[in-house]
């Protein structure tokens, strides 16, 4: 059995735009990547980068224009892997009159589960897992966005797939809901499942992902572990001192590098080419008290901006991208 769960090679998708004179618009451009079994791989990028389209191709919902994709060694959407893949769209939509229990029961029937008792047991377990209680008997048209999002996640999990393809799984969730989903995904990883998810909430990606892939304008611009991409790598030092005057800072030649926190405290940032000890020793000789000294690291947001040129947008629902 191969250790690769998801693989794309030169994957490309064009959509036709325009009415009278349609022209192709490329939304995924030569994407090549792999994801190992049991890995959480995050797919990051600005709106319109091609994240949703990539996940739809892997789920077998749309066809690629060219290139190749494999999920568990088979083409996306093929009968051999239908029961092994769980998919969550960015904005789950269900028949408004069906309850969460009914929606998941239908899903299990489609996956071939004939035993009513087994379906009831698995539906209850999936809804419990995502924190859906009495709402499970309410028509989906009366559920909130956050509740629909969790029902959608339960729908992706209920048949116990090997691979989870999740498009913005944290969308519309409050902080408690986001923490719950984080725990669910980490547990799924520990169970050996592969999770490939898109997100615009970088702290969630930072907390969950072993690796991240960054897209912009349909192209892969970076992929790797956070440390490999520069995130969490030392960028220098930050120290906070108190009990020193601005005149002393000017005399030491560091006034321009200091930021006043309050009347008595200053913050300094030193780049990675320098060591903090000489400055600390000089400040102490001037009577300053060292409050803290910590290494500075590049955040995932800074890495994202450096590779894509876009600052991440924090949105709750957001528009579905191509």
Average pLDDT of 55-79?
96
Tell which wins on pLDDT, 218 or 293.
218
Find, among 310, 317, 314, 316, the residue nearest to 48 by Cα: 310
Shared domain for 51 and 184, answered yes or no, is yes
Residues 94 and 206 in one domain: yes
Q: How far apart are CA 40 and CA 212, in angstroms?
A: 9
Edge-first strand order for the sheet with 4-17 is 23-36, 4-17, 66-71
Asked whether residue 41 is domain-assigned, the answer is: yes
Mean pLDDT on 223-252: 76
Closest by Cα among 245, 286, 292 to 264? 245
The SS3 assignment for 260 reads: strand
Output the CA torsion sign for 121, 127, 130, 131.
negative
Q: Is the pLDDT of residue 258 over 50?
A: yes
| Average pLDDT value for residue range 192-205 | 88
pLDDT at residue 314 is higher than 50: no
Residue 229 has pLDDT above 70, yes or no: yes
Least confident piece of the model among 101-105, 254-258, 291-295, 314-318: 314-318
Residue 254 binned pLDDT confidence (cut-offs 50, 70, 90): low
Q: 269 and 239 in one domain?
A: yes
Which has the closest alpha carbon to 283: 252, 318, 255?
A: 252
Establish if 134 belongs to a structural domain: yes
The pLDDT value recorded for residue 116 is 96
Residue 271 maps to a domain: yes
Question: Does residue 321 fall inside a structural domain?
Answer: no
249 and 157 belong to one structural domain:
no
Is residue 312 one of the residues assigned to a domain? no
What is residue 234's three-state secondary structure? strand
Residue ranges making up the domain that contains 292: 234-297
Give pLDDT, residue 149.
Answer: 95
> Which CATH number does the domain housing residue 133 bear?
3.40.50.300
Position 247 confidence tier, pLDDT thresholds 50, 70, 90: confident
The whole-number average pLDDT for the span 215-239 is 78
DSSP codes joined into one string, 72-103: TTB-TT-GGGGGGEEEE-SS----TTSBHHHH
| Dist. CA 41–CA 211, nearest whole Å | 5
**Which pLDDT score, from 0 to 100, does residue 210 have?**
86
Is 194 part of a structural domain of the chain? Answer: yes
Burial classification of residue 5, based on how many CB atoms lie within 10 Å of its CB (0-12 exposed, 13-18 middle, 19 or more buried): buried
Burial of 200: CB neighbours in 10 Å, binned 0-12, 13-18, 19+: buried
Do residues 277 and 133 share a domain? Answer: no
Read off the CATH number of the domain in which 274 is found. 3.30.70
The string of DSSP letters for 168-225 reads STTTT--HHHHHHHHHHHHHHHHTT-EEEEE-S-HHHHHHH-SEEEEEETTEEEEEEE
pLDDT at res. 22: 81
In this prediction, residue 230 carries a pLDDT of 63
Name the domain count of the chain: 2
Specify the higher pLDDT residue, 46 or 273. 46
Q: Looking at the structure, do residues 11 and 130 belong to the same domain, yes or no?
A: yes
Which of 225, 250, 277 is the C-terminal boundary of a domain? Answer: 225
User: What whole-number distance in Å separates Cα of residue 65 and Cα of residue 29?
Assistant: 10
Residue 12 contacts by C-beta under 8 Å, 6 or more apart in sequence?
Answer: 26, 28, 29, 30, 31, 64, 65, 66, 67
Percent of the chain scoring above 90 in pLDDT: 55
Do 217 and 268 share a domain, yes or no?
Answer: no
Cβ atoms of 25 and 16 closer than 8 Å? yes
Domain boundary among 225, 247, 276: 225
Same domain, 170 and 23: yes
Distance CA 175, CA 266 (A): 33
pLDDT tens for residues 135-173? 999 999 999 999 999 999 999 999 999 999 999 999 888
| Lowest-pLDDT choice from 100-109, 220-229, 230-239, 254-263 | 230-239
Q: Within this chain, do residues 136 and 254 fall inside the same structural domain, yes or no?
A: no
Listed residues 205, 225, 245: the one ending a domain: 225
**For 248-263, what is the mean pLDDT?**
75
Domain assignment present for residue 319? The answer is no
For position 69, what pLDDT does the model report?
97
**Statement to judge: residues 65 and 143 lie in one domain:** yes
Q: Do 211 and 252 lie in a common domain?
A: no
- Rg for the chain, CA atoms, rounded: 25
What average pLDDT does the chain have?
87
**Model pLDDT for residues 111-137, shown as the tens digit of each residue:** 999 999 999 999 999 999 999 999 999
CA distance 319 to 322: 9
Could you tell me the pLDDT band of residue 315, with boundaries at 50, 70 and 90? very low
144 plus 63 within the same structural domain? yes
253 located within any domain? yes
């Amino acid at each position: 059995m191969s250790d690769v769960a998801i693989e794309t090679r030169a994957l490309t998708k064009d959509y036709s735009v325009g009415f009278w004179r349609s022209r192709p618009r490329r939304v995924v451009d030569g994407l090549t990547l792999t994801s190992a079994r049991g890995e959480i791989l995050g797919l990051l990028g600005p709106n319109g980068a091609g994240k949703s389209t990539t996940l739809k191709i892997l789920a077998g919902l749309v066809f690629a224009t060219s290139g190749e994709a494999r999920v568990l060694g088979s083409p996306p959407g093929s009968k051999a892997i239908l029961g092994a893949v769980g998919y969550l769209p960015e904005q789950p939509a269900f028949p408004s009159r069906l309850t969460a229990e009914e929606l998941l029961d239908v899903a299990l029937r489609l996956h071939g589960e004939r035993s009513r008792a087994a379906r009831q047991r698995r539906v209850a377990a999936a809804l419990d897992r995502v924190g859906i209680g009495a709402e499970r008997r309410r028509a989906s048209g009366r559920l909130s966005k956050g509740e629909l999002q969790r029902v959608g996640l339960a729908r992706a999990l209920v048949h116990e797939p090997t691979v989870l393809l999740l498009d913005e799984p944290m969308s519309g969730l409050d902080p408690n809901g986001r923490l719950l989903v984080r725990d669910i995904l980490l547990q799924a990883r520990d169970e050996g499942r592969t999770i490939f998810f898109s997100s615009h909430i970088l702290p969630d990606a930072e907390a969950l992902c072993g690796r991240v892939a960054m897209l912009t304008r349909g192209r892969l611009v970076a992929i790797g572990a956070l440390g490999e991409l520069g995130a969490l790598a030392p960028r220098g030092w930050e120290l906070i001192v108190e009990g020193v005057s601005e005149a002393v800072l000017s005399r030491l030649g560091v006034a321009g590098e200091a930021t006043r926190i309050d009347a008595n405290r200053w913050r300094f940032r030193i780049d990675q080419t320098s060591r903090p000890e000489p400055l600390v020793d000089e400040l102490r000789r001037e009577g300053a008290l060292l409050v803290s000294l910590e290494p500075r690291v590049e955040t995932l947001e800074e890495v994202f901006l450096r590779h894509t040129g876009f600052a991440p947008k924090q949105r709750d629902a957001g528009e579905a991208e191509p």
